[in-house]
Amino acid sequence: MPSKIFEILEKEEKRQKETINLIPSENFVSEDVLRALGSVFTNKYAEGKPHHRYYAGNEFVDELEDEVVDLVHRAFNIHKDEYSVNVQPYSGSIANIATYFGVLNVNDEVLSMSLEHGGHLTHGHTASITGKIFEFEHYGVGEDGYINYDQVKEIAKRFQPKLIIAGTSAYPRTLDYKKFKEIADSVNALLMADIAHIAGLIVGGAHPSPFPYADIVTTTTHKTLRGPRSAIIICKKNLADNIDKTVFPGIQGGPHMNAVAATGVALEEALRPEFKDYAQQVVKNAKALAEELKNLGFQLVSGGTDNHLILVDVTPLGLTGQQASDKLEKEGVIVNKNMIPFDTRKAWDPSGIRLGTPAVTTQGMKEKDMTAIAKRIAEILISKS
Ligand code: DSN
């Protein structure tokens, strides 16, 4: 019996093979990750924590979850006596929301980066439930495109947040967790690092670690970490009870143990020496792409990158982010439109595009390929058609 779904799946496989994927939050997982994700763990209910479940038949699920938690400790080089790990959140949004409900009361004050300057919807944007339930104030970047830590400190002093979030989804520069921690300590706030974009870079040693500075670290597992679509919360032991209860039964039902298994496979891969080379190459490729784009006259937010992503202001080319993304997609180059700091346009048709190198680096591309991709982008965006 022909399956319409498998027909569509084949078309998507072909699309992924035939296009250049520069979306910085996407990647290509290994066959082993896919195998674990499509495994019989999908058949199992496992509400609760390891060795304390609501359903029978969880002997191997317990063994699996213990092992994945251990892999998280090893990958981030943290000790189990100091940090508790929850690998059950279905997604980064859930991980963030569970964290807020686990450590805050409704209407408590939180300081985070604004979405327009590179933060995330779940960092208190008004369109997100997070912005409706807690009181958020935002910091941003200066005219130079870098976070201004003096500004963060000033806002923290005035606003007296209970929680400060060091986390970004469109910031091309390194985060200084030590400075964030000093600011958090100065106002007696907890520090949360949302490392969703850069988790793989941190594990691979290509970005500074939020440990030992952050009290809580949340991350998705599918971006630079190259795992399935899932998430992890790591927190100081004293915060774990409240956060764990908020994940389940507060927000979620049964964890998706197939995703947990696939996360474990991705972490096993990330602990291999070659993953360090991968993480370093992601950054080298982003720098090479940024350099060539600049040579070709593109305007980059902050003038370049330290990590896996680049933000380009396309308005000097007479284009909007939507138009640039459409033109590139027609030619098989997949990017995403994105707001840039101080954008005067709206999210659905902003001034910028966001490019990243995690996926093309997984495919084995190197600096010379980035130079060629930059030239191709210039041909497409500067052509009149
Ligand atoms: N939506 C993700 C991104 O593309 O950055 C963040 O969650």
Domain ranges of the chain: 31-270, 275-383
DSSP-derived secondary structure letter, 297: T
d(CA 239, CA 67): 22
Q: Is 308 annotated as a binding residue?
A: no
Average pLDDT rounded to a whole number, residues 147-158: 97
Residue 2 banded pLDDT, cuts 50, 70, 90: confident
d(CA 141, CA 309): 16
Answer whether residue 385 shows pLDDT above 70. no
Expressed in angstroms and rounded, the spacing between residue 162 Cα and the centre of ligand 1 is 25
The residue whose CA has the least distance to atom 3 of ligand 1 is: 25
Find out whether the beta carbon of 89 lies less than 6 Å from any atom of ligand 1. no
Percent of the chain surpassing pLDDT 70: 99
Digit-coded pLDDT (tens) for 187-221: 999 999 999 999 999 999 999 999 999 999 999 99
Fill in the amino acid letter for 193.
A
Q: Is 117 annotated as a binding residue?
A: no
Expressed in angstroms and rounded, the spacing between residue 139 Cα and the centre of ligand 1 is 19
68 in Cβ contact with 87 (< 8 Å): yes
Expressed in angstroms and rounded, the spacing between residue 198 Cα and the centre of ligand 1 is 11
Catalytic positions, written as ranges: 45, 47, 194, 220, 223, 229
Q: Which letter, b or e, does each residue of 171-204 get, where b requires 16 or more Cβ atoms within 10 Å of its Cβ?
A: bbbbbebebbbebbeebebbbbbbbbbbbbbbbb
Find out whether the beta carbon of 112 lies less than 6 Å from any atom of ligand 1. no
For residue 98, give both structure tokens: 């569970």
Of 131, 78, 141, which Cα lies nearest the Cα of 107? 131
Q: Is 309 annotated as a binding residue?
A: no
Of 20, 360, 384, 83, which Cα lies nearest the Cα of 212? 83
Q: Is 115 annotated as a binding residue?
A: yes
Find out whether the beta carbon of 91 lies less than 6 Å from any atom of ligand 1. no
Cβ-based neighbours of 160, under 8 Å, separated by 6 or more: 109, 187, 189
β-pair type (135-139, 109-113):
parallel
Average pLDDT rounded to a whole number, residues 74-79: 98
Expressed in angstroms and rounded, the spacing between residue 5 Cα and the centre of ligand 1 is 26
CATH assignment of 275-383, among 3.40.47.10, 3.90.1150.10, 3.50.50.60, 3.40.50.170: 3.90.1150.10
113 in Cβ contact with 138 (< 8 Å): yes
Find out whether the beta carbon of 307 lies less than 6 Å from any atom of ligand 1. no
CA distances from 274 to 245, 296, 362 (A): 37, 33, 11
Maximum Cα interatomic distance, the chain, rounded to a whole number of Å: 65
Digit-coded pLDDT (tens) for 249-292: 999 999 999 999 999 999 999 999 999 999 999 999 999 999 99
Phi, psi of 360 (to 5 degrees): -65, -30
Return the number of other C-beta atoms located less than 10 Å from residue 159's C-beta.
Answer: 17
Q: Which atom of ligand 1 is found nearest the CA of 122?
A: 7
d(CA 325, CA 331): 10
Which of 21, 22, 25, 112 best tests ligand 1's pocket when mutated (most atoms within 8 Å of CB)?
25
d(CA 57, CA 119): 41
Expressed in angstroms and rounded, the spacing between residue 332 Cα and the centre of ligand 1 is 21
Expressed in angstroms and rounded, the spacing between residue 343 Cα and the centre of ligand 1 is 19
Find out whether the beta carbon of 168 lies less than 6 Å from any atom of ligand 1. no
Fill in the amino acid letter for 15.
R
Find out whether the beta carbon of 25 lies less than 6 Å from any atom of ligand 1. yes
Mean residue pLDDT across the chain: 97
What sign results for the dihedral spanned by CA atoms 188, 194, 200, 201? negative
Answer whether residue 127 shows pLDDT above 60. yes
Note the pLDDT of residue 384.
57
Q: Which atom of ligand 1 is found nearest the CA of 220?
A: 7
Digit-coded pLDDT (tens) for 328-356: 999 999 999 999 999 999 999 999 999 99
Cβ-based neighbours of 98, under 8 Å, separated by 6 or more: 89, 233, 243, 246, 247, 250, 251
Percent of the chain surpassing pLDDT 90: 98
Find out whether the beta carbon of 92 lies less than 6 Å from any atom of ligand 1. yes
Give the domain 31-270 fold.
Aspartate Aminotransferase; domain 2 (3.40.640)
Digit-coded pLDDT (tens) for 100-118: 999 999 999 999 999 999 9
Find out whether the beta carbon of 169 lies less than 6 Å from any atom of ligand 1. yes
Residue 1 banded pLDDT, cuts 50, 70, 90: confident
Q: What is the 3-state secondary structure (H, E, C) of 145-203?
A: CCECHHHHHHHHHHHCCCEEEEECCCCCCCCCHHHHHHHHHHCCCEEEEECCCCHHHHH
The residue whose CA has the least distance to atom 6 of ligand 1 is: 169
